[in-house]
Structure 1
Amino acid sequence: MSRRRGLPFSSVVTALAGFVLLWFTVPGIGPAVRAARADGVSGVFTATELVCVQHPGHESCTWTGAFSAPSGAVRDRVSLYGSDRETMLAGQTTPAVDIGRTYWVYGPGGSNEWVFTGLLLLLGAGLLAFSAYAARVVVRPRART
C-alpha cells in the first residue's frame, strides 16, 4: 500500500511568495517597457522643487515640477525619473516623456527600471516553478517493490 504524503508547508509558502511577486509585478510590465523605450507624449519638464529623503549614510533626491505637453496640457506635481540634486536647478527645463504614470515623467532616453521589473518577474516565476516541482516530487506516491 502506498502512502501519499502531504505538501510541505515550505512549498506552500514558496508558491504564495511567487504568486504575490507576480501579482504586483505583472501590471508593471507595460509601463516598464514604455519607460524603457520612452514611448509616450514628448514635452518639457520644468523643475520647481528638489525633494530629498535621508537614509543612514545616503541621501536620495529627485526633482518635482510640471510637465507641459505640446497640446498645452500641463501636469503639476510630477517627478522626473532619474533626476537628482546635480541634474537641474529650480526653474530649469528639460525634454521629457509622459508615458502615463501618475507621478513620473521620464527623460527622452528612457529608463532602466525594466531590469528590476524583469528580475522580479523571473523570481516570481522561478518560485512558482520550484514549488510545483517540489509538490510533484513530494506528493508522488512511492513505487512498490
Structure 2
Amino acid sequence: MRLSAFDLVVAAGGLVLVLLAVQNLGPALAAFRGDGAWGTFTAHRVECVQHPGHEQCTWLGEFRTGRTVRPEVAFYGGERGSFIPGQTARAFDTGRRGHVYGPGGSNEWIAVALLMLAGLGLASRPLWRLRRLRRARRPAGEPGAGPATDTGPRADADPRTDTDS
C-alpha cells in the first residue's frame, strides 16, 4: 500500500493550485462585492492580443484615490472601445497588484473557486487511492471490506427443495 511518484506529483500540483487560489481569493471576492478603495482611473493606452477567433484588450492607465497614485494599472474588463486616451472612470482597488475594477466588479471568484476545487481534488487523489487499496486488501468478512467473493449457490449444485425425499 504505497503511493507512486506519480501520485505524489499529482498531490503536489494540487497543493500549488490551492495556494494560487488562496492568494487570489480575497481580491476576487472583494471585486465581486465591490469592496475596495474607490477612486478614478484615467485611461492612457490600450494593449490588445489577437487570438484565433477573438481579440483580448486591456486598458492601462493611472489610478488615483486621495493622494495615492498607482501608475500603469490595468482596468479589469476594459475592451478596445471602452475608453479613449485621457478619459476617466470611477474604479476601485481591491489590493490586487496591477488591476483596478469598474463599478460592475467582476466574476473572477468563479475561476478562483474552480481552481480551488481542482487543487483540492488533485491533492486528495492519493488519499482516495490509499483508501481503495486498503479496502481491496481487507479479508471478505472484515467491516469495510469490498464485496464478498461468494455470490451464492453454484450453478452445478443440486438444488434441494422441501418436497424432495
Instruction: Assess same fold via TM > 0.5.
Output: yes
Code of the residue aligned with 1:75 in structure 2: it is: R
The 10-residue stretch of structure 1 (127-136 or 93-102) with the greater mean CA deviation from structure 2: 127-136
Larger Rg belongs to? 2
Which residue number in structure 2 is paired with residue 131 of structure 1? 126
Q: Give the CA deviation at 1:141.
A: 7.5
**How many residues are matched?**
140
For structure 2, list consecutive stretches of 5 or more residues without a partner in the other structure: 141-165
Among residues 73, 81, 106, which one is paired with 2:76 in the alignment? 81
Structure-1 separation of matches of 2:73 and 2:7: 42
Q: TM-score, normalised by structure 1?
A: 0.86
Which residue number in structure 1 is paired with residue 15 of structure 2? 19
Question: Is 1:39 matched up with 2:40?
Answer: no
Which residue number in structure 2 is paired with residue 53 of structure 1? 49
Identity of aligned residues (%): 45
> Does the 8 A contact of 2:74 with 2:99 survive in 1?
yes
Structure-1 separation of matches of 2:139 and 2:58: 65
Distance 1:140 1:11, change over 3 A: farther
Code of the residue aligned with 1:106 in structure 2: it is: Y
Q: Secondary structure at the match of 2:117?
A: helix
> Does the 8 A contact of 2:93 with 2:99 survive in 1?
yes
Among residues 76, 91, 96, which one is paired with 2:91 in the alignment? 96
> Does the 8 A contact of 1:7 with 1:138 survive in 2?
no
Which residue number in structure 1 is paired with residue 156 of structure 2? none
Code of the residue aligned with 2:81 in structure 1: it is: E
> Does the 8 A contact of 1:6 with 1:139 survive in 2?
no
Bigger relative contact order (CA 8 A; separation at least 6)? 1
Structure-2 separation of matches of 1:144 and 1:54: 60
For structure 1, list consecutive stretches of 5 or more residues without a partner in the other structure: none
1:76-111 per-residue CA deviation (whole Å, 9 max, x = no partner) reads: 111100001011111111110011122100012211
Q: Secondary structure at the match of 1:20?
A: helix
Q: Secondary structure at the match of 1:85?
A: coil
Q: TM-score, normalised by structure 2?
A: 0.76
